[in-house]
C-alpha cells in the first residue's frame, strides 16, 4: 500500500477512535434525558414561581358538555378535531393525565366529574383530561362508565407527559388564563386540592406542587 494511503488509513482510524467515546457519551446523555423527565415545573413551584405550561397539540378524544360559557370560548378550536394549549389562552385549565388501566385514576374519576360539574364549569374553568398509554376503545369505555363529560384529548406517545415531568398516573396541573402552571398534584387528588387548584388557576396565585394519593408508574 502506498505511504499516502497508509497515512490516510491511520488518520481515519484515529478519528474513529476519538469519535466513539463522544458518540457513546452523547447516547448516554440522551438516555438520561429520556428516562428522567424535567423537574423544572416543580422546582419553580417550590420556589413560588409559576412556569409556562409546555405546548401541545393533540386530537380530541371527547368534546364533552362544556356549558354555554366555555363552548363560546372553544367553538373555534374544537371545530377541527384537535386542540392546542395556545388555543386555550384566556381560559383557566385543570389538566389531568390519566389512563383506563390506572386504578387510582378510576378511584379519582367520580370526584373529578363532581367537581367539574358543580364548581369548575359554572366558574368557566376547563377540565381537560389527557389520556395516554391507552387503547382508544378502553379509554371510551372508562369515560362512559364514569359518566365523564368534560373535554378529553389523547396523546399516542409519552411526549407531552415527559415535557410536563409526569412519571406516574394520575397527575393534575392547574394552569392560569395566561398559560402559566400555578399548581400540581402528584397522584390521586382530593376535593380540597382540586378546589384550591381551581382558585389558583382563576387568580394566577401559585399553589405549589403537592403529593396526593395513590399513583401508578407510567409504562
- Could you read off the pLDDT of 55-113 as tens digits, one per residue? 999 999 999 999 999 999 898 888 889 999 999 999 999 999 999 999 999 999 999 99
Lowest mean pLDDT among 2-16, 124-138, 203-217: 2-16
Domain 40-217, CATH number (from 3.30.1540.10, 3.10.20.30, 3.40.50.740, 3.40.30.10): 3.40.30.10
Give the pLDDT mean for 124-134: 98
Q: Is the CA virtual torsion 67, 81, 107, 127 positive or negative?
A: negative
* Euclidean distance between CA atoms 16 and 114, whole angstroms: 62
Domain ranges of the chain: 1-36, 40-217
Please indicate, yes or no, whether the overall pTM of this predicted structure exceeds 0.95: no
Cell of 133: 398509554
For β-strands 208-211 and 151-155, DSSP reports them as unpaired
* Euclidean distance between CA atoms 39 and 70, whole angstroms: 31
Please calculate the CA angle 213-129-102 and round it to the nearest 5 degrees.
45
Amino acid at each position: 500500500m502506498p505511504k499516502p494511503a497508509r497515512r490516510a488509513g491511520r488518520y481515519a482510524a484515529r478519528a474513529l477512535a476519538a469519535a466513539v467515546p463522544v458518540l457513546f457519551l452523547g447516547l448516554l446523555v440522551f438516555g438520561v434525558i429520556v428516562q428522567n423527565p424535567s423537574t423544572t415545573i416543580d422546582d419553580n413551584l417550590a420556589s413560588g414561581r409559576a412556569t409556562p405550561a409546555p405546548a401541545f397539540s393533540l386530537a380530541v378524544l371527547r368534546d364533552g358538555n362544556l356549558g354555554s360559557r366555555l363552548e363560546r370560548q372553544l367553538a373555534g378550536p374544537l371545530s377541527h378535531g384537535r386542540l392546542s394549549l395556545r388555543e386555550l389562552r384566556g381560559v383557566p385549565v385543570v389538566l389531568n393525565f390519566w389512563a383506563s388501566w390506572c386504578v387510582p385514576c378510576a378511584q379519582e374519576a367520580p370526584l373529578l366529574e363532581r367537581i367539574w360539574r358543580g364548581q369548575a364549569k359554572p366558574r368557566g374553568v376547563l377540565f381537560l383530561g389527557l389520556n395516554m398509554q391507552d387503547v382508544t376503545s378502553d379509554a371510551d369505555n372508562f369515560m362512559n362508565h364514569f359518566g365523564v363529560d368534560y373535554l378529553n384529548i389523547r396523546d399516542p406517545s409519552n411526549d407531552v407527559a415527559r415535557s410536563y415531568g409526569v412519571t406516574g398516573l394520575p397527575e393534575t396541573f392547574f394552569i392560569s388564563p395566561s398559560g402559566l402552571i400555578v399548581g400540581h398534584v402528584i397522584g390521586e387528588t382530593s376535593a380540597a386540592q382540586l378546589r384550591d387548584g381551581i382558585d389558583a388557576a382563576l387568580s394566577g396565585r401559585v399553589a405549589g406542587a403537592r403529593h396526593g394519593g395513590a399513583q401508578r408508574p407510567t409504562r
